[in-house]
């Protein structure tokens, strides 16, 4: 009762007494003056002490419980929540730091500046600690000893032949049987998408994308003056009826799709939907750009087939493969496999972009692949990510308020959430940044950026401890926002018809 004796409530303050009491107890908790699992004073006793009705105390305890600050034991009383005290994070008060770190204008350009102790759910890029630096150093040294100055020559624009051969073998494991000429090395998938846009799109051409979609691709298509049409995603992939309708109306040059663990939603297309899309493209004589940034990270999906593996004649799908999520993004290495009619156009676009991807790195990657070190590394990454993935699912189930909807992915690194209508992801973003947690507001992933209710959390850059801590912090902010709305609803003046 010690700390509670100093609480003062003012009847003439114009604020409900129960709100004043709730705030006063919350302050005690935030200042860590109450210890975890400490029992709050019994309702009647505290009411007497403060000279208020029992209901005032009941209401105050109720809000604290909704916010996860306290919990009730049947027949025993109300106690301080242990989880909350463990995870109270310091507020960042310096406005300059907040602006620098989390400025929405920076994040809208696809970047975020991360402070050392920040929990980074915003970027879907693996942590540097996971990079196989020693193994890669070994292959780099070996290449330098073996190839000397040739390692620093211009490499042929299509890519270093032994690496292309190794990749053709690698994709066979995923049932993609492609000709060596169809494979083009690229400096990352982003460049791949960009040269596809350059090679295939003329001003005013239409591209169909998923709604929501990957920002980097949208930016590339926009830069070519393309008209971008979006089609909603449902549980098992793109809405196929709407897709067909829009194909008929707009006759797009191609569809840009991520059929496995889509970015940002984590949705995977069902096998039958993948087959239907291939058939639609045959029927309407249309191409697909398949962005396979992540199908390797399959934890619980029955089917992570690529569209490319269903394109048995190799004439519909341009397959773009990134290694950034499972290997080292800074290498800027990836590849694409295209139908033969595009070989020359793509090669020309690649050449005019950067002549060739670094020969030294291509040679090192080839050794890394053929040694089998790659396979070991992928197994290691899978294990790491799976543990983070499971922790994320558990934490969401345990802490996230039930008013928040989310898509349960079967693999990958992204989790997609929908807030109740009245709560804005922008506000959530700003409050989370103040608590050292970064997330990606959903508007970034929509072509007109007009969404205000979604947000994406990625587990790529966070460890298990941070995942749980971060989810508790985000959940508490959302609970607070929900409570604010409920409270303002309570105080609202009501207008009734005069009857």
Residue found under tokens 């308020």: 401
Please identify, using beta-carbon distances, which residue of 124 and 288 lies nearer to ligand PLP: 124
Question: Minimal CB distance to ligand PLP: which residue?
Answer: 188
Q: Which ranges of 285-424 would DSSP assign to H, the alpha helix? A: 307-310, 343-354, 359-371, 373-399
Whichever of 294 and 393 has its CB closer to ligand PLP, that residue is 294
Q: Which residue's CB is nearer to ligand PLP, number 190 or number 391?
A: 190
For ligand PLP, which is the closer residue by CB, 329 or 442? 329
In the 8-state DSSP scheme, what is residue 287?
E
Beta strand extents in 66-167 (DSSP E only):
70-73, 77-80, 119-120
Q: Which helix (H) or strand (E) holds 171?
A: helix 161-172
For ligand PLP, which is the closer residue by CB, 190 or 268? 190
Q: How far is the CB of 285 from ligand PLP (least distance, A)?
A: 26
Nearer to ligand PLP, 63 or 124 (CB): 124
Q: Where are the beta strands (DSSP E) in 212-332?
A: 227-234, 237-238, 254-257, 287-292, 317-322
How near is the Cβ of 402 to ligand PLP at its closest, in Å? 30
Q: Which is nearer to ligand PLP, 263 or 304 (CB)?
A: 263
Measured CA to CA in angstroms, residue 478 lies from 30, 428, 439 at distances of 17, 7, 13
Closest by Cα among 297, 234, 241, 246 to 270 = 234
User: Which C-beta is closer to ligand PLP: that of 327 or that of 399?
Assistant: 327
Closest CB 322 distance from ligand PLP, rounded Å: 3
What SS3 class is residue 320?
strand
Cβ neighbours, 10 Å, residue 421: 10
Q: Which CB atom, from 67 or from 194, has the smaller least distance to ligand PLP? A: 194
Is-contact 92 47, C-beta < 8 A? no
Tell me if residue 340 falls in helix, strand or coil: helix
* Residue 293 C-beta: closest distance to ligand PLP, Å: 4
Q: Which is nearer to ligand PLP, 263 or 475 (CB)?
A: 263
Q: Which residues pair with 334 in a beta bridge?
A: 186, 322
What residues line the site for ligand PLP (CB under 6 A)? 124, 188-190, 214, 216, 258, 263, 291, 293, 322, 324, 329, 334
| Structure tokens that stand for 54 in this block | 């029992």
3-state secondary structure of 282: helix
**Nearest-approach distance from CB 291 to ligand PLP, in angstroms:** 5
How far is Cα of residue 328 from the mean position of the Cα atoms in its chain? 18
Contact 379, 217 (CB under 8 A): no
Shortest reach from residue 381's CB to ligand PLP, in Å: 15
CB of 191 to ligand PLP, least distance (A): 6
Of the pair 61, 446, the CB lying nearest ligand PLP is at: 446
Closest approach of Cβ 100 to ligand PLP, in Å?
A: 23
Q: Give the Cα-Cα-Cα angle 489, 402, 455 (nearest 5 degrees).
A: 90
Give the orientation angle of helix 189-200 with respect to helix 343-354, to 10 degrees. 120
- Supply the minimum distance, in Å, between the C-beta of residue 32 and ligand PLP: 39
For residue 333, give the 3-state DSSP assignment: coil
CB 495 to ligand PLP: min, Å = 49
User: In terms of C-beta density within 10 A (0-12 exposed, 13-18 middle, 19 or more buried), how is residue 194 classed?
Assistant: buried
**How near is the Cβ of 21 to ligand PLP at its closest, in Å?**
47
What is the distance between the alpha carbons of residues 90 and 199, in angstroms, rounded to a whole number? 50
Which one-letter DSSP state was computed for residue 40?
P
Number of H helices and E strands in the chain, helices first, is 18, 16
């Amino acid at each position: 009762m010690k700390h509670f004796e100093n609480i003062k409530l003012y009847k003439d303050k114009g604020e409900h007494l129960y709100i004043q009491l709730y705030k006063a107890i919350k302050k005690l908790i935030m200042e860590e003056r109450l210890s975890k699992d400490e029992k709050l004073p019994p309702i009647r006793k505290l009411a007497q002490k403060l000279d208020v009705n029992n209901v005032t105390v009941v209401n105050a305890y109720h809000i604290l419980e909704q916010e996860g600050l306290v919990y009730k034991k049947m027949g025993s009383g109300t106690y301080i929540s242990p989880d909350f005290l463990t995870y109270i994070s310091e507020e960042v008060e310096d406005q300059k730091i907040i602006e620098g770190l989390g400025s929405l204008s920076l994040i809208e350009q696809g970047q975020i500046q991360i402070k050392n102790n920040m929990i980074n759910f915003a970027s879907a890029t693996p942590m540097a600690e996971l990079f196989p630096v020693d193994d890669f150093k070994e292959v780099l040294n070996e290449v330098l000893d073996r190839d000397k100055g040739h390692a620093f020559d211009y490499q042929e624009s299509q890519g270093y032949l032994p690496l292309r051969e190794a990749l053709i073998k690698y994709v066979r494991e995923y049932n993609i049987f492609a000709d060596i000429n169809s494979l083009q090395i690229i400096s990352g998938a982003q460049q791949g998408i960009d040269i596809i846009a350059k090679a295939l799109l003329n001003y005013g051409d239409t591209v169909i994308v998923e709604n929501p979609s990957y920002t980097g691709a949208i930016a590339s298509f926009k830069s070519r003056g393309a008209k971008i049409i979006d089609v909603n995603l449902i549980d098992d992939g793109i809405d196929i009826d709407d897709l067909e309708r829009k194909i008929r109306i707009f006759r797009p040059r191609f569809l840009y799709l991520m059929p496995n663990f889509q970015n940002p939603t984590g949705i995977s297309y069902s096998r039958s939907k993948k087959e239907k899309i291939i058939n639609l493209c045959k029927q309407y004589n249309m191409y697909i750009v398949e962005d396979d940034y992540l199908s390797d990270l399959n934890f619980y999906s029955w089917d992570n087939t690529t569209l490319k593996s269903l394109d048995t004649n190799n004439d519909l799908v341009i397959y773009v493969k990134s290694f950034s999520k499972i290997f080292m993004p800074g290498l800027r290495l990836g590849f694409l496999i295209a139908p033969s009619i595009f070989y020359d156009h793509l090669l020309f676009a690649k050449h005019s972009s950067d002549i060739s991807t670094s020969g030294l790195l291509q040679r090192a990657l080839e050794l890394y692949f053929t040694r089998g070190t790659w396979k070991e590394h992928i197994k290691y990454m899978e294990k790491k990510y799976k543990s983070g993935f499971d922790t994320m699912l558990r934490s969401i189930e345990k802490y996230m308020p039930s008013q928040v909807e989310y898509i349960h992915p079967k693999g990958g690194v992204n989790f997609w959430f929908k807030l109740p209508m009245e709560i804005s992801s922008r506000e959530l973003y700003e409050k989370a940044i103040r608590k050292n947690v970064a997330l990606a507001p959903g508007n970034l992933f929509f072509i007109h950026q007009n969404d205000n209710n979604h947000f994406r959390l990625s587990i790529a850059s966070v460890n298990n401890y941070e995942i749980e801590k971060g989810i508790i912090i985000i959940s508490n902010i959302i609970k607070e926002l929900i409570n604010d709305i409920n409270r303002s609803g309570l105080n609202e003046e009501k207008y009734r018809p005069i009857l």
